């Protein structure tokens, strides 16, 4: 006769495959994980000049993974990942300062491209950085560093320097400065481009000012970050519905006509790939990153 099953054991047996997968991923992302490492240093001391790409924005920049219909919430694997330098610090939806406001970071080190530790319903976070970096590397681009400083949500006021709560502006500046400090000795660099995916949470007032505020964000970053005077801006347009979303799209898409250092990428064709009418699915995130990389590669320089 089999021994009686305890209530805890019974609950474990009833867990769905997705719940088990989420548990495994959560364990992996909170434990010490051995990621693929390159045979040679990612950025050798005294090496060639490095282009730095910076990603910021809210949840579709952060990249959620709560899609219950997706059997594999990871970005998959690519041999190029082990050759791509990556530095990140992801903020939670809590405003304010301090380490408790971080979802996760790369520990102040430049590591290889990877998904990041998740929280709550999202076992992992990864956004357009994966598709962007893979596409850039596959096209033969070398000597670049990708820096991610994204947030779980919030309106554009958080990125407005000197606003009453500008913690995301300060977070972006601090993250990029720490990434630069992590570069090997003798490596020179330039801030090549800002990748921006934000606007779904904008209030009516924020939406109405979204174009001007993004222009000011770029201007302030060019002044406050080292070697950023020629930094370009690639905007990943939002796909959310509603009046505010329409206003944000109109504001952001008008920027390139007024300023040639901006590029805007429409994503309305990716609307069917939002798993909850807001967040991009796995395929849409990879596609947005690919489009952003193509925009950079096709940009005359």
Q: Which two tokens stand for residue 208?
A: 């109405």
Q: Residue 74 CA to chain centroid, in angstroms?
A: 14
Does pTM surpass 0.85?
yes
State percent of the chain over pLDDT 70. Answer: 84
How large is the average pLDDT for residues 269-296?
Answer: 98
Q: How far apart are CA 163 and CA 169, in angstroms?
A: 9
Q: How far is CA 201 from CA 43, 61, 170, 198, 242, in A?
A: 37, 13, 19, 8, 11
pLDDT at residue 13 is higher than 90 = no
Angle of CA points 155, 160, 166, to nearest 5°: 80
CB burial of 128-165 (b: ≥16 within 10 Å; e: otherwise) equals bbbbbbbbbbeeeeeebbbbbbbbbbbbbbbbbbeeee
Least confident of 36-50, 137-151, 283-297: 36-50
Pairing state between β 85-91 and 111-112: antiparallel
Looking at residue 32, its pLDDT comes to 33
Q: How far is CA 265 from CA 44, 70, 84, 260, in A?
A: 34, 25, 24, 14
HSE of 86 in the Cβ direction (CA atoms, 13 Å)? 29
Q: Compute the residue count for the chain.
A: 301
Q: Is 264 helix (H, G, I), strand (E, B) or coil?
A: strand
Nearest to 83 by CA among 136, 47, 158: 136
Looking at residue 36, its pLDDT comes to 58
Q: Which two tokens stand for residue 233?
A: 């801006």
Domains, the chain: 48-298 (3.40.50.1110)
For the chain, the first-to-last Cα distance in angstroms comes to 76
pLDDT at residue 204 is higher than 60 = yes
Q: Which two tokens stand for residue 191?
A: 């801030």
Q: Tens digits of per-residue pLDDT, 154-189?
A: 999 999 999 999 999 999 999 999 999 999 999 999
Looking at residue 4, its pLDDT comes to 52
Chain-wide mean pLDDT for the chain?
Answer: 90
pLDDT at residue 225 is higher than 90 = yes
Nearest to 65 by CA among 101, 29, 13, 112: 29
How large is the average pLDDT for residues 57-80?
Answer: 97
Contact 43, 183 (CB under 8 A): yes
């Amino acid at each position: 006769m089999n021994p009686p099953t305890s209530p805890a054991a019974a609950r474990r047996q009833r867990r769905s495959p997705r719940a088990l997968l989420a548990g495994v991923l959560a364990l992996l992302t909170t434990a010490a994980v051995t990621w693929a490492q390159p045979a040679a240093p990612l950025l050798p001391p005294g090496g060639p000049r490095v282009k730095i790409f910076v990603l910021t924005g809210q949840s579709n920049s952060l990249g959620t993974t709560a899609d219950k219909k997706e059997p594999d919430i990871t970005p998959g694997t690519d041999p190029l990942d082990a050759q791509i330098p990556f530095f990140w610090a992801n903020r939670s939806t809590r405003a304010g300062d301090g380490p408790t406001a971080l979802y996760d970071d790369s520990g102040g080190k430049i590591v290889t491209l990877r998904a990041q530790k998740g929280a709550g319903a999202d076992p992992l976070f990864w956004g357009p950085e994966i598709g962007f970096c893979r596409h850039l590397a596959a096209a033969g681009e070398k000597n670049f560093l990708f820096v991610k400083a994204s947030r779980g949500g919030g309106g554009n006021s958080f990125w407005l320097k000197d606003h009453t709560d500008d913690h995301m502006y300060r977070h972006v500046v601090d993250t990029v400065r720490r990434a630069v400090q992590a570069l090997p000795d003798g490596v020179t660099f330039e801030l090549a481009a800002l990748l921006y995916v934000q606007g779904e949470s904008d209030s009516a007032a924020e939406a109405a000012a979204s174009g001007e505020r993004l222009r000011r964000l770029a201007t302030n970053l060019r002044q406050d970050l080292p070697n950023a005077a020629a930094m370009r801006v690639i905007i990943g347009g939002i796909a959310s519905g509603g009046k505010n979303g329409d206003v944000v799209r109109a504001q952001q898409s008008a920027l390139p006509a007024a300023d040639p250092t901006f590029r805007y990428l429409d994503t309305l064709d990716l609307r069917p790939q939002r798993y909850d009418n807001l967040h991009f699915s796995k395929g849409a995130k990879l596609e947005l990153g690919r489009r952003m990389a193509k925009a950079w590669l096709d940009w005359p320089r």
